Amino acid sequence: EVQLVQSGAEVKKPGESLKISCKASGYSFTSYWIDWVRQMPGKGLEWMGSIYPGDSDTRYSPSFQGQVTISADRSSGTAYLQWSSLQASDTAMYYCARLTFVYYDFWGHGTLVTVSS
Amino acid sequence: EIVLTQSPGTLSLSPGETATLSCRASQSVSSSTLAWYRQKPGQAPRLLIYGSSSRATGIPDRFSGSGSGTDFTLTISRLEPEDFAVYYCQQYGSSGGTFGQGTKVEIK
């Protein structure tokens, strides 16, 4: 059974760093892209970027380029999304999703990130 | 960059009725790259339709997708309580994933 299990909710202060995770199981981790999607409170879905764990090829939306870093650890089957300096505007739910061809067939349950002073 | 525009923003219907949701692309896209998702409150999105008209695993035949070029439609027949949710269309291209802004189907 394919599963994407995300790390738990986080509460951070502005300026702090953060790394959230998405652990994959039930399939070959290195054979599919993993994407990250942001959903701000009460808003729609925004594509942030992708990583192909097989060779660590990474792509970013222009809106998020330079703001976040996407990485993956093949040994643990885990993808990561990290920030070096959070802002209040980063408050959102973040989903990881497996990309099959050109659609997302499996999603993580989401990680809620709250940034507040 | 392709922009997806969904309409209407909100659809008010009763259980048992049919919902017709539209997704318009700012330029022609391959129908093989168009997908639809349902997001219930407090849950992650779930894939409903891929390749503009193929139902995902476990999705009942009440859901159907159609369209080509710039105009795509999701039709939900015989609305059931779990269908009252937000629906997103999505297209994947050279710029990565793009989502429409969503259509909320609410109980009338």
pLDDT in tens, B97-106: 899 999 999 9
What is the rounded CA–CA span in Å between residue B101 and residue A101? 22
**Least confidently predicted of A28-32, A107-111, B84-88, B92-96:** B92-96
pLDDT over 90 (residue B93): no
Alpha helices in chain A (DSSP H): none
What is the rounded CA–CA span in Å between residue A94 and residue A42? 13
Tokens of A67: 């703001």
Find the CB nearest B45 among A99, A101, A107. Answer: A107
What is the rounded CA–CA span in Å between residue B107 and residue A22? 34
So what's the pLDDT on residue A76? 97
Average pLDDT over residues B13-39: 97
So what's the pLDDT on residue A2? 97
The residue among A38, A60, A103 with the most chain B CBs within 10 A of its CB, best to mutate, is A103
- Using the structure block, give the residue that is written with the tokens 């999701």: B74
DSSP chain B: ---EEEE-SEEEE-TTS-EEEEEEEEEEE-GGGEEEEEE-TTS--EEEEETTTEEPTT--TTEEEEEEEEEEEEEE-S--GGG-SEEEEEEEETTEEEE---EEEEE-
pLDDT over 90 (residue B94): no
- How confident is chain A (117 residues) per 10-residue block, as mean pLDDT? 98 98 98 98 97 96 96 98 98 98 97 98
Burial class of residue B56, CB neighbours in 10 A (0-12, 13-18, 19+): middle
Average pLDDT over residues B6-28: 97
| Distance between A12 CA and the closest CA of chain B, angstroms | 21
So what's the pLDDT on residue A117? 96
Q: Which of residues 68-87 of A touch B (CB under 8 A)?
A: none
Chain B residue with CA closest to A41: the answer is B42
So what's the pLDDT on residue A21? 98
CA A4 to chain centre: 11
Q: Running DSSP on this structure, what letter comes out for residue A61?
A: -
Find the CB nearest B88 among A45, A49, A109. Answer: A45
pLDDT over 90 (residue B42): yes
What is the rounded CA–CA span in Å between residue A29 and residue A23? 9
Tokens of B80: 């059931």
Average pLDDT over residues B28-51: 96
Q: List the one residue out of B15, B10, B36 whose CA is nearest residue B79.
A: B15
What is the rounded CA–CA span in Å between residue B22 and residue A100? 24
